[in-house]
Chains A and B, each alone.
Chain A
Amino acid sequence: MHLSETVNTGFFFLAPWIIFAPVVGLLVNIIFGGWFLKRSWGEAAVGTVASLASGIAFAVSALLAWSLSAAHGEVVVVPFAEWIHIGSLQLDWTFRVDTLSVTMMLAVSGVGTLIHIYAIGYMHEDVRFKKDEKRYQRFFVFMNLFITMMMLLVSSDSYLMLFVGWEGVGLCSFLLIGFWYDMDTLGRPSWANSNAANKAFIANRIGDFGFLIAGFIMFWAFGSFQFDEVFTQVGAIAPGIITAITLFMLVGVTGKSAQIPLYVWLPDAMAGPTPVSALIHAATMVTAGVYLVTRSAPLYSTVPAAQYVVALTGALTALFAATIAVGQYDIKKVLAYSTISQLGFMVAAVGMGAYVAGMFHLVTHAFFKALLFLSAGSVILGLERGHHHLSHHEGHQGHEGSHHEEVRRTEPVEVFDPGDMRNMGGLRKTMPVTFWLYVFGTLALAGIFPFAGFWSKDEILLDASLHYPDIYWILTLAAFLTAFYMGRQIWMVFFGEPRHEAAAHAEESKPIITIPLMVLAALALLGGGLNLPGAHTLGHWLEHTLGEIEVPEFSLMVAGVSTALALAAIGISWLVYGRNPLKAEQKDPLKKPLGFLFTGMENKWWVDEGYKWLILDNYVRLSKFLAEVIDWRFWHDWFHEKIIAGTYNWLSNIALNKYADQQGIDAFANGLGEWTKEVSASLRRVQNGFVRSYALSVLLGVVLILGYLLLK
Chain B
Amino acid sequence: MKFFLEPLTLLTFFPLVGVLVLLFLPSDKKNLLRWTALVTSLVTFGISLWVLSMFNASNPDLQLATRYPWITVAGWNIEYHMAVDGLSILLVLLTTFLTPISILSTWAAVEERVKDFMLFFLLLEVGMTGVFLAQDLFLFYIFWEFTLVPMYFLIGIWGGPRRIYAALKFFLYTMAGSILMLLAILWLGIQQGSFSVPELIEMGGIPADIQLWLFLAFAAAFAIKVPMWPLHSWLPDAHVEAPTAGSVILAGVLLKMGTYGFIRFNLPLFPEAAIQAAPWMALLAVIGIIYGAAVSYAQQDAKKLVAYSSVSHLGFVMLGLFAMNPQGIQGGILQMVNHGLSTGALFLLVGMIYEQTHTRDLKVYGGLWKITPVFGSLMLIVALSSMGLPGLNGFVGEFTILLGAWGAGMDGGVLGSVLFAGFAAAGVIMAAVYILYMFQKMFLGPEGSIVEEVKKHGHALRDLNAREIITMVPLLVFIFWIGLYPKPFFALMAPAVDKLVVILQAAMH
Contact = CB atoms under 8 A, between A and B. Distances in A.
A622 interface: yes
Given A167-B390, A697-B179, A212 B425 contact: yes
B403 interface: yes
Contact of B153 (A164, A212, A644, A683): A683
B490 A627 contact: no
Given A623-B297, A635-B233, A702-B186, A688 B432 contact: no
Contacts of B182: 698, 701-702, 705
Interface residues of B, number: 78
Nearest to B237: A636
B390 A622 contact: no
| A interface, size bucket | 35 or more
B440 interface: yes
Given A191-B445, A202-B433, A213 B425 contact: yes
A295 to B, nearest CB: 18
A86 B490 contact: yes
A519 to B, nearest CB: 33
Interface string B382-395: 00100001110001
A190 B446 contact: yes
Contacts of B167: 686
Interface stretch (A45-53, A177-185, A527-535): A177-185
B429 interface: yes
Interface string B286-309: 000001001111110000000010
Interface in A605-664: 619-620, 622-624, 626-628, 631, 635-636, 639-640, 644-645, 648
B390 A168 contact: yes
Interface string A537-571: 00000000000000000000000000000000000
Contacts of A690: 168, 171-172
Contacts of B494: 86
Nearest to A89: B327
B164 A685 contact: yes
A112 B327 CA distance: 39
Which of B399, B418, B445, B447 has the largest number of chain A CB atoms within 10 A? B445
Given A168-B390, A212-B402, A640-B233, A627 B298 contact: yes
A129 interface: no
Contact of B326 (A86, A206, A628): A86
B464 interface: no
A171 B400 contact: no
Interface string A172-205: 0000001001110000011100110110011001
A195 B326 CA distance: 40
Contacts of B402: 212, 216
Which of B149, B171, B395, B425 has the largest number of chain A CB atoms within 10 A? B425
A624 B300 CA distance: 11
Nearest to A192: B445
Nearest to A216: B406
B436 to A, nearest CB: 5
A707 to B, nearest CB: 11
Contacts of B331: 86
Contacts of B17: none
A198 B179 contact: no
A644 B168 CA distance: 13
B478 to A, nearest CB: 16
Interface in A58-105: 81-87, 89
Given A86-B400, A209-B426, A688-B168, A178 B294 contact: no
Nearest to B486: A84
Interface in A472-517: none
B444 A182 contact: yes
B102 interface: no
A132 interface: yes
A158 B485 CA distance: 17
Contact of B186 (A675, A682, A685, A705): A705
A181 B172 contact: no
Given A628-B298, A635-B230, A212 B410 contact: no
A189 B486 contact: no
A675 B23 contact: yes
Given A622-B294, A640-B169, A701 B179 contact: yes
B156 interface: yes
Contact of A201 (B175, B432, B443): B432
B193 to A, nearest CB: 12
A220 interface: yes
A694 B171 CA distance: 9
A213 B422 contact: yes
A453 B237 CA distance: 62
B487 interface: yes
Interface of A is mostly: helix
B21 interface: no
B421 interface: yes
B406 A627 contact: no
Which of B152, B325, B390, B444 has the largest number of chain A CB atoms within 10 A? B390
B490 A683 contact: no
A222 interface: no
Contact of B187 (A167, A688, A705): A705
B35 interface: no
B153 A686 contact: yes
Interface in B164-216: 164, 167-169, 171-172, 175-176, 179, 182-183, 186-187, 190
Contacts of A212: 399, 402, 425, 428
Contacts of B283: none
A626 B298 contact: yes
Contact of A190 (B186, B443, B445): B445
B233 A205 contact: no
A436 interface: no
Contacts of A698: 145, 179, 182
Contacts of A206: 429
Given A212-B428, A701-B182, A191 B446 contact: yes
A236 interface: no
Contact of B327 (A87, A168, A697): A87
Interface string B461-498: 00000000000000000000000011100100010001
B323 to A, nearest CB: 12
A702 B171 CA distance: 19
A636 B233 contact: yes
A122 B367 CA distance: 24
Given A209-B426, A690-B171, A694-B175, A183 B446 contact: yes
Interface in A661-708: 675, 679, 682-683, 685-686, 688, 690-691, 694, 697-698, 701-702, 704-706
Nearest to A191: B445
A709 interface: yes
B353 interface: no
Contact of A171 (B153, B389, B399, B446): B389
Given A164-B390, A216-B421, A631 B486 contact: no
Contacts of A626: 291, 294-295, 298
A627 B418 CA distance: 28
Contacts of B169: 640, 645
A160 B447 CA distance: 39
10 contacts: A84-B486, A86-B326, A160-B399, A164-B390, A167-B395, A171-B389, A190-B445, A194-B444, A628-B298, A683-B157
Given A164-B390, A635-B230, A682-B157, 16 more contacts: A168-B390, A182-B444, A182-B445, A182-B447, A202-B432, A205-B432, A212-B425, A216-B402, A619-B294, A620-B298, A626-B294, A627-B295, A683-B153, A694-B175, A705-B182, A705-B187
Interface of A: 81-87, 89, 132, 160, 163-164, 167-168, 171, 178, 181-183, 189-191, 194-195, 197-198, 201-202, 205-206, 208-209, 212-213, 215-217, 219-220, 619-620, 622-624, 626-628, 631, 635-636, 639-640, 644-645, 648, 675, 679, 682-683, 685-686, 688, 690-691, 694, 697-698, 701-702, 704-706, 709
Top 5 A-B pairs ranked by shortest CB distance?
Answer: A627-B298, A189-B446, A194-B444, A216-B406, A87-B326
